[in-house]
């Protein structure tokens, strides 16, 4: 499996987890008339990771950051974390892509 396909599959898995947690949160709130703080905590962590993984995926594919998102002032991403994700999925230099 190519590096980009691995990244894309991971993003799909993350989005599925996010959707599942959102559904669980709604069901919890309907049944208990409650806040559901544990769901919000998990949801925040997954959304944070998805945002940064998505930016890393787009940058690895050659897009410019300005074309990916335009965050409000003070809501920029963690570029150190993004670079970590990009380097984790980076293709080794000695691999032939044509073979």
Domain residue ranges in the chain: 3-88
CA distance 72 to 36: 28
The yes-or-no verdict on residue 37 having pLDDT over 90 is no
Query: How does pLDDT run across 75-84, given as a tens digit for each residue?
Result: 999 999 999 9
List C-alpha distances in Å: 44 to 17, 34, 41, 51. 12, 18, 5, 11
What integer is the mean pLDDT of 25-47?
89
19 pLDDT band, cuts 50/70/90, is very high
pTM of the model: 0.81
CB within 8 Å of 98: residues ≥ 6 apart: none
The yes-or-no verdict on residue 95 having pLDDT over 80 is no
- Given a contact cutoff of 8 angstroms between Cβ atoms, the answer to whether 21 and 42 are in contact is yes
């Amino acid at each position: 499996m190519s590096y980009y396909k691995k990244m894309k599959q991971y993003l799909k898995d993350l989005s599925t987890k996010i959707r599942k947690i959102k559904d669980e949160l709604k069901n919890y709130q309907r049944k208990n008339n409650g806040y559901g703080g544990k769901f919000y905590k998990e949801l925040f962590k997954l959304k944070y990771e998805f945002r940064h993984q998505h930016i890393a995926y787009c940058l690895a594919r050659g897009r410019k950051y300005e074309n990916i998102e335009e965050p409000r002032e003070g809501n920029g991403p963690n570029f150190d974390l993004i670079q970590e994700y990009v380097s984790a999925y980076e293709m080794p230099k000695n691999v032939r892509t044509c073979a």
